[in-house]
Amino acid sequence: MSASLLHARNIARSYELNRHIWGNASVVHAVSDVTLSVGRNETLGIVGESGSGKSTTGRLLLGLESPTRGSISFDGRPLPVIGSPEWRKSRTRMQMIYQDPLAALDRRLPIAKQMREPLDIHQAGNLQERETRVSELLRAVGLSDAVARRYPHELSGGQRQRVVLARALVTRPDLLVCDEPVSALDVSIQAQVVNLLSDLQAELGLAMIFISHDLRVVRQVSHRIAVMYLGRIVEEGEADDLFARPAHPYTRALVSAAPVPGTKLGGRIMLRGEPPNPANQPSGCAFHPRCSAAVARCKSEMPALAELGGGRKVSCHLAGSPSENQADPSPARTRVPLNPVEAASEDVA
Amino acid sequence: MRGSITLEELTVSFNGVRVLHGIDLAIGPGETLGLVGESGSGKSVTWLAALGLLPPKAKVSGRVMLNDRNLLDMPDSKLTGIRGGRIAMIFQDPVSALNPMLTVKRQIGETLALHRGLSGAAIKAEAKRLLDLVGIPDAERRLNAYPHEFSGGQNQRVMIAMALAGQPDLLVADEPTTALDVTIQAQILDLLALTQRETGMALVLISHDLGVVSQVCDRVAVMYAGRIVEEAPVERLFEHPAHPYSQGLMGSLPAIDGPRRRLTAIGGTVPDASSLPAGCSFAPRCAFAETQCHEQIPLLAGIGRDHSVACLVSEAQPSAAIRYSRQKEQRIEA
């Protein structure tokens, strides 16, 4: 996409663990070979389970950490070196929202003061203008001016997350990375914040990266969605299309496992086992030990993320074959289970 | 007979602040009941109070009847025979619920020795059978493992094995899958449903997630600010939610397929237990609230087969029930 604001090419990030005096350190590949881009006025959702590397990807894209391999460009130029003056300046254009708003706010500062802090640091306008900007944003996120004088502990969870959002937007960023922004909130409050995020994104034309484990919430806010498994993107596509016709066996299992209100258990794809340790990745396709459709090739050969048409990319040796996925128009939920519930009970017997 | 358990007018106060306002619930043998509500709605407190697990500063009143005996009147020595034996409970975070210093065999064995009088080789054999039952691979060898050697999902399986060790009539699972990944959550829910079917025990599933509850339960009670506001069979609740709060909860949930629609969020926030509004606690956030809602407290009243709702404006609310509710409230206050 030529209009993309942020573009990451084959980025990877690994960490060294357990370095001993003798012997080699074990290396954890948190993110391997991720390529993605997001344009202005677009929300890219990233879903995955814990340990899939979705948060690390978010931090890499924001330039909070540098990738061990690959390159990231923002607005046509490579991300500046971490800690450099240009990097500090670039912070005004990209912001992050975390899961726990209470941890993200300074408990000892009144709301208005901590919202003004980014403007103070980057010396944007005079004091009057900064204060106007703060109250403007408080209103934009649906909070009254009275909130400005309060402290974080005096606000409810939903109000705090609104404050965090307002503070992130105070420097008029172009890119917003949200890492599980609504996971700590109750359902009814979650809906308020989700609506607010979608509204502001559309209104301000933000490029947004929305990281979450919750498929329903991700679909609600995203235009495109990337599914991550063990540090790699295994499938990417248009938000509505992706979960309606998932092509990768892992996406299918995720969609099938997401509980839908009003429906009983049964006929679901039950994945056996748990995600492997990122420090000890399986050979070939990382998903093959849990995949019921796996063939010999999956054990030895890593599938590439290939175009499937219609903006869909999938990394699976079997996804291209028409008999497996494409010819089956039925939605994932009613699909014959790959690995039915009984399979799980075999172990029990 | 495997006993049914009935909560009658259960109330709980902490430091003079009432957090539970008269809960009436009945769970029959082999039944699965879901308890849904947001944080602070009292869904966990209900069961902690029923099992005498709250700290001494909590004032609990009402009755918790198990086979014509009131658990709340029982001395602690008798209660320990019931907790873990007749009624078992599992919690959200298995890692903090397990003892990191003891092997899994010791922890399961404790229940087996205490409630089933087993010892020595019998404990080992039964503990292995239980680990097999909950789907821990290579159970024989894993008996001597410590909790840190298991993953989160496996620890929750161990917790379930411990709960099943006492052969309970009722298992109370408090947000058992909230800390787990979706694919692991599916496995654990499946395991709970399977063991419930196999053992015939009753199951109470406490969750904030309507989706999780509807997958496993037959009947659902929705809680708000320390009261049950609606109770119905699962299908009925999702097809015809009667309470505006239940309707709001469903509107707040994004769909995973079909056309995207704007979420209908419930405005405002859950009221603080120390400053509940007069009348219906939900009235300040309710789009249908009328004058009477700010004055009277509605109580649960039947509006159809097995379906009851506590709302003054919801259709077919008999006025007799309102009068009854006010009398009852006064009785509770007195």
For B:11-40, CB contacts with A below 8 A are 38-39
Longest Cα separation, chain A: 72
For residue B107, give the nearest of B132, B143, B82 by alpha carbon: B143
Q: How far apart are the first and last CA of chain B?
A: 36
Q: Quick one: A213 and A266 in the same domain?
A: no
What is the phi/psi pair of residue A157, to 5°? -55, -45
Average pLDDT over residues A18-43: 85
Q: How do residues B281-333 score in pLDDT, each as one tens digit? A: 999 999 899 999 999 999 899 888 889 999 998 754 444 344 344 444 444 44
Contacts of A268 in chain B (CB under 8 A): 186, 190
- Cα–Cα distances in angstroms (integers) from residue A321 to residues A101, A160, A264, B249, in the given order: 45, 49, 32, 41
For residue B36, give the nearest of B286, B253, B324 by alpha carbon: B253
For B:207-236, CB contacts with A below 8 A are 208-212, 214-216, 234-235
Check if the beta carbon of residue B243 is closer than 8 Å to that of residue B55. no
Q: How do residues B77-126 score in pLDDT, each as one tens digit? A: 888 888 888 999 998 888 888 999 999 999 999 999 999 999 899 999 99
Check if the beta carbon of residue A103 is closer than 8 Å to that of residue A109. no
Q: Would you tell me how many other CB atoms lie within 10 Å of the CB of residue B36?
A: 27
DSSP per-residue letters across B178-219: TTS-HHHHHHHHHHHHHHHHHH--EEEEEES-HHHHHHH-SE
Between chains, do B252 and A191 touch, taking CB under 8 Å as contact? yes
Average pLDDT over residues B46-72: 92
Instruction: Name the packing angle between helices B104-116 and B121-133 (round to 10°).
Output: 110
CA distance B161 to B196: 12
Q: Quick one: A64 and A211 in the same domain?
A: yes
pLDDT at residue A312, as a whole number? 94
Q: How do residues B21-57 score in pLDDT, each as one tens digit? A: 999 999 999 999 999 998 889 999 999 999 999 999 9
pLDDT band at A328 (very low <50, low <70, confident <90, very high): very low
Q: How do residues A128-180 score in pLDDT, each as one tens digit? A: 999 999 999 999 898 888 899 999 998 888 899 999 999 999 999 999 999 99
Sign of CA dihedral B75, B78, B82, B83: positive
- Region of B56 please: left (phi>0), alpha (psi -120 to 50) or beta: alpha
Q: Searching chain A, which residue's CA lies closest to the CA of residue B212? A: A259
Q: Compare CB distances from B256 to A156, A159, A243 and report the shortest one's residue.
A: A243
Domain stop point among A228, A257, A273: A228
Looking up tokens 């239980």 gives: B130
Residue B187 forms contact with A (CB below 8 Å): yes
Q: Which residues contact B156 (CB under 8 A, 6 or more apart)?
A: B90, B94, B176, B177, B180, B188
Q: Is the ipTM of this complex over 0.85?
A: no
Q: Quick one: A121 and A220 in the same domain?
A: yes
Contacts of A237 in chain B (CB under 8 A): none
Between chains, do A187 and B253 touch, taking CB under 8 Å as contact? yes
3-state secondary structure of B270: coil
Domain stop point among A173, A203, A228: A228
For residue A131, give the nearest of A112, A114, A150, A149 by alpha carbon: A112
pLDDT band at A275 (very low <50, low <70, confident <90, very high): confident
Between chains, do A275 and B249 touch, taking CB under 8 Å as contact? no
pLDDT at residue B237, as a whole number? 92
Q: How far apart are the first and last CA of chain A?
A: 52
Whether A99 is in a domain gets the answer: yes
Q: How do residues A79-120 score in pLDDT, each as one tens digit? A: 999 999 999 999 999 999 988 888 999 999 999 999 999 999
Looking up tokens 């350190």 gives: A25
pLDDT at residue A50, as a whole number? 84
Strands of the sheet containing B301-304, edge to edge, are: B87-90, B170-174, B202-207, B32-36, B219-224, B227-233, B307-309, B301-304
pLDDT band at A279 (very low <50, low <70, confident <90, very high): confident
For A:79-118, CB contacts with B below 8 A are none
Q: Quick one: A250 and A134 in the same domain?
A: no
Average pLDDT over residues A281-309: 91
For residue B166, give the nearest of B125, B130, B192, B122 by alpha carbon: B130
Longest Cα separation, chain B: 68
Contacts of B252 in chain A (CB under 8 A): 187-188, 190-191
Q: Quick one: A272 and A125 in the same domain?
A: no
Average pLDDT over residues B138-153: 90
Q: Quick one: A206 and A320 in the same domain?
A: no
Residue B98 tokens read as: 């397990």
For residue A14, give the nearest of A279, A332, A306 by alpha carbon: A279
Q: Quick one: A172 and A273 in the same domain?
A: no
User: H/E element holding B169?
Assistant: none
Q: Would you tell me how many other CB atoms lie within 10 Å of the CB of residue B135?
A: 24
CA distance A64 to A319: 35
Average pLDDT over residues A261-273: 75
The residue type of A276 is P
Whether A235 is in a domain gets the answer: no
Q: In this structure, what DSSP letter does residue B30 have?
A: T
What is the phi/psi pair of residue B206, to 5°? -95, 125
Alpha-carbon distance A185 to nearest alpha carbon in chain B (angstroms): 9
Between chains, do B182 and A190 touch, taking CB under 8 Å as contact? no
Whether A306 is in a domain gets the answer: yes
For residue A183, give the nearest of A55, A29, A86 by alpha carbon: A55
pLDDT at residue B32, as a whole number? 94
Whether A20 is in a domain gets the answer: no
Domain stop point among A228, A262, A289: A228
Q: Would you tell me how many other CB atoms lie within 10 Å of the CB of residue A19?
A: 9
Whether A233 is in a domain gets the answer: no
CATH number at residue A130: 3.40.50.300
Looking up tokens 């007749």 gives: B86
User: H/E element holding B233?
Assistant: strand B227-233
Q: SS3 for chain A, per residue? A: CCCEEEEEEEEEEEEEECCCCCCCCEEEEEEEEEEEEEECCEEEEEECCCCCCHHHHHHHHHCCCCCCEEEEEECCEECCCCCCHHHHHHHHHEEEECCCHHHHCCCCCCHHHHHHHHHHHCCCCCHHHHHHHHHHHHHHCCCCHHHHHCCHHHCCHHHHHHHHHHHHHCCCCCEEEEECCCCCCCHHHHHHHHHHHHHHHHHHCCEEEEEECCHHHHHHHCCEEEEEECCEEEEEEEHHHHHHCCCCHHHHHHHHHCCCCCCCCCCCCCCCCCCCCCCCCCCCCCCHHHCCCCCHHHHHCCCCCEEEECCEEECCCCCCCHHHHHCCCCCHHHCCCCCCHHHHHHHHC
Residue A348 forms contact with B (CB below 8 Å): yes
pLDDT at A340 over 60: no
Q: Quick one: A196 and A289 in the same domain?
A: no
Q: Quick one: A134 and A174 in the same domain?
A: yes
CA distance B5 to B168: 12
Pure H helices in chain B = 43-50, 76-82, 94-97, 104-116, 121-133, 139-142, 152-165, 182-199, 210-216, 234-239, 244-251, 319-333
Check if the beta carbon of residue A258 is closer than 8 Å to that of residue A246. no
Average pLDDT over residues B267-287: 88
Q: Does domain B5-217 have CATH number 3.90.180.10?
A: no
Residue A274 tokens read as: 């748990």
> What is the β-pairing status of strands A312-314 and A306-309?
antiparallel
Whether A152 is in a domain gets the answer: yes
pLDDT band at A57 (very low <50, low <70, confident <90, very high): very high
Domain region containing A178? 4-15+27-228
Between chains, do A260 and B256 touch, taking CB under 8 Å as contact? yes
Q: Among A33-42, B77-86, B163-172, where is mean pLDDT lowest?
A: B77-86
Q: Which residues contact B142 (CB under 8 A, 6 or more apart)?
A: B104, B131, B136, B150
CA distance B288 to A113: 38
Structure-model confidence comparison of residues B320 and A232, the more confident one? A232
Contacts of B254 in chain A (CB under 8 A): 191, 194, 216-217, 219-220
The residue type of B287 is A
3-state secondary structure of B31: coil
pLDDT band at A203 (very low <50, low <70, confident <90, very high): very high
Q: What is the mean pLDDT of chain A?
A: 86
**In chain B, domain spans:** 5-217, 243-333
The residue type of A113 is K
Average pLDDT over residues A249-255: 93
Q: Compare CB distances from A49 to B181, B253, B257 and report the shortest one's residue.
A: B181
> What is the β-pairing status of strands B5-14 and A77-78?
unpaired
Whether A21 is in a domain gets the answer: no
pLDDT band at A320 (very low <50, low <70, confident <90, very high): low
Whether A236 is in a domain gets the answer: no
Between chains, do A194 and B269 touch, taking CB under 8 Å as contact? no
Q: Would you tell me how many other CB atoms lie within 10 Å of the CB of residue A199?
A: 14
Q: Which residues contact B274 (CB under 8 A, 6 or more apart)?
A: B17
Q: Compare CB distances from B262 to A189, A195, A257 and report the shortest one's residue.
A: A195
CA distance B107 to B127: 9
Looking up tokens 């929300």 gives: A43
CB pairs under 8 A between A and B: 141
Residue B311 forms contact with A (CB below 8 Å): no
Domain count, chain A: 2
